[in-house]
Chain A
Amino acid sequence: MTNNRVSYTLDSTLETVDSAEQTASRMAAEAGFGEDEVMQISMAVREAAVNAVLHGNAYDPDKKVKLDFERTSHELVITIRDQGKGLDPAKIPDPLAPENLLKTSGRGIFLIRSFMDEVQIHPSHTGTEIKLVKHVPGAAGGH
């Protein structure tokens, strides 16, 4: 069984968002995911990075975004942590509700949940940690 772990500590900038997306895309391809799944994983990571940079750290140059990728033979686990005030997922309105359809924001977490097999959000007063899991198709323990 292979086990690869890579960690990055990144500034709270738009470049971090692009970098996280590109790294996720590369890691997902290396893990054996197909083209559609690579796109889904990279988009989920991009959305999580946007949340961390914008809503969590609010572009604060003193706050960092931590990005961890862990690859096993049966899944890819990505963890994104910010140093913001903590995101309460219960307070995020349902973007599919008719009254929210024409809102210009609020779809990031929904897209993340749509694209990943498991999503765990752990808010605290020192920041938010979001853990994203995608099972490798056909692998033992995968779907």
Chain B
Amino acid sequence: MTMKTSTRQVDGISIVDCSGRITLGEGSVILRDTVRDLLGKGQKKILLNLGDVTYIDSSGIGELVSAFTTVRNQGGELKLLHLTKKVNDLLQITKLYTVFDVKDDEAAAVKAFK
């Protein structure tokens, strides 16, 4: 299943619903382009909903890190929502769970943005 994203706005926060595989190649590129487009429009508060992401490899993890640092370097915030067990496990073993702000409730996540 290829990676797909769909973006919606809730209280000034861009929520990106991601589905499919974030892997080397198309999946990583789609995520990169989506975040870049949002930043280009001045939308710097981004919540990545990964609830329907079925698979992520080291390139996909790298793309999440890249998105996080790119948004932060532009004065914005990027948070993660609804991690699947697989993605959660990967962020735990790579210690990135300590880097990302991970939420499991959308309304609370939206409120958590400054």
Which residues of A pack against B, CB within 8 Å?
14, 17, 39, 43, 46-47, 50, 54, 95-96, 101-105, 107-108, 110-111, 114
In terms of DSSP, what is the predominant structure of the interface of chain A?
helix
Q: Decide: B94 and A95 in contact? CB cutoff 8 A.
A: yes
The interface residues of chain B lying within 8 Å CB-to-CB of A114 are: 93
Which residues of B pack against A, CB within 8 Å?
23-25, 57-59, 61-63, 65-66, 68-69, 86, 90, 93-96, 98-99
The interface residues of chain A lying within 8 Å CB-to-CB of B86 are: 39
Top-8 shortest CB links A-B: A104-B62, A107-B58, A104-B66, A108-B58, A14-B25, A105-B62, A96-B95, A104-B65
Additional 8 contacts, C-beta under 8 A, given A46-B57, A107-B58, A107-B94: A17-B24, A43-B57, A46-B23, A47-B57, A50-B24, A95-B94, A105-B58, A111-B90
- Do A14 and B94 contact each other (CB < 8 Å), given the known contacts A47-B58, A50-B59? no
